[in-house]
Amino acid sequence: MADPSHSSHYLRKPLLALEFTALATLLGSMLWFGYSTPPGDILAPVWLLIPAVASLLVFTSFIGLMYLRWVVTAGAERQNRHKLIFALLALTMSSVWLYGIVNTWISINAQ
């Protein structure tokens, strides 16, 4: 039977709350920008910090929850392998997020 210790880790509930709050902020800001910006008008780049920070918080909490589920619950004999795979996955996901943010910022400043 599986060990349910991953569901009782003290960081699990705060990470879940952070993830869903940041996701709601991200979706709300996207809707607000869509309705409040007139067609053909350019949104001030400083406003893009709201969805950028919200998406970073979503990814960070998601990565934290993955760490709790994969690395913390792994047995001692497999934990090093899980840490390596997790580190590569977290680095890849963070790089994709950074690439998207940089490309968005460049495309807005090029207009």
pLDDT of residue 1: 42
Q: pLDDT class for 7, splitting at 50, 70, 90?
A: low
| Nearest alpha carbon to residue 51 among 105, 106, 96, 92 | 105
Global pTM value: 0.80
Give alpha helix (H) positions in the chain.
12-36, 49-67, 79-109
Greater confidence (87 vs 77) lies with 87
Please tell me the distance from the alpha carbon of residue 111 to that of residue 103, in angstroms, as a whole number. 13
pLDDT tens-digit series, residues 46-58: 888 999 999 999 9
Please tell me the distance from the alpha carbon of residue 20 to that of residue 97, in angstroms, as a whole number. 18
Render 76-96 in DSSP notation, one character per residue: TTTHHHHHHHHHHHHHHHHHH
pLDDT of residue 14: 95
The single residue listed with the structure tokens 């690439």 is 99
